[in-house]
């Protein structure tokens, strides 16, 4: 059941449908982005984070590859692809100009649910892989 909510969340993200994605989140949802080190609390901070991702990467697709579900927890292996057509806002508020380059990376999300909504999630991915694909890492 909860893995279906994860699928709904990723499908909404892939369609830049922020409202539908937010409908999956509990009002007190805490999201840990392990790649950037950011922590988003509540709907508005999570909305701003998702809008940053969907504005940064056009044609972004988040594809769940595998779910492992136990009790109120779902662990999902996923693949994200997209083209960097928008400026990337960094945790310190600075912006990296769009590169026009395509990224493809795999990651993992650990999500916990309460009352049929995602109450906590942690996304694990390699920020260095993404930055390298964008041409932003020294060779």
C-alpha torsion 9→13→19→20, nearest 10? -40
Name residue, tokens 């539908």.
20
**What are the tens digits of pLDDT across the range 62-101?**
999 999 999 999 999 999 999 999 999 888 889 999 999 9
Phi, psi for residue 127 in degrees, rounded to 5 = -60, -35
d(CA 133, CA 75): 26
In angstroms, how far is the first alpha carbon of the chain from the final one? 45
Domain boundaries, the chain: 2-133
Q: Which residues are registered as beta bridge partners of 20? A: none
pTM: 0.91
Task: Domain 2-133: give its CATH code.
Answer: 3.10.450.50
Residue 21 corresponds to which tokens in the numbers above? 């994605």
Q: Provide the mean pLDDT of the chain.
A: 95
pLDDT at 40: 98
């Amino acid at each position: 059941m909860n893995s279906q909510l994860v699928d709904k969340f990723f499908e909404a993200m892939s369609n830049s449908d922020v409202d539908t994605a937010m409908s999956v989140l509990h009002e007190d949802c805490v999201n840990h982005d392990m790649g950037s080190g950011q922590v988003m609390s509540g709907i508005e901070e999570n909305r701003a984070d998702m809008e940053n991702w969907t504005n940064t990467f056009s044609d972004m697709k988040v594809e769940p590859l595998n779910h492992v579900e136990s009790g109120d927890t779902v662990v999902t292996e996923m693949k994200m692809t997209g083209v960097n057509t928008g400026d990337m806002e960094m945790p310190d508020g600075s912006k990296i100009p769009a590169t026009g380059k395509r990224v493809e990376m795999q990651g993992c999300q650990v999500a916990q649910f309460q009352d049929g909504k995602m109450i906590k999630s942690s996304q694990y991915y390699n920020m260095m892989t993404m930055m390298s694909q964008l041409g932003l890492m020294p060779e």
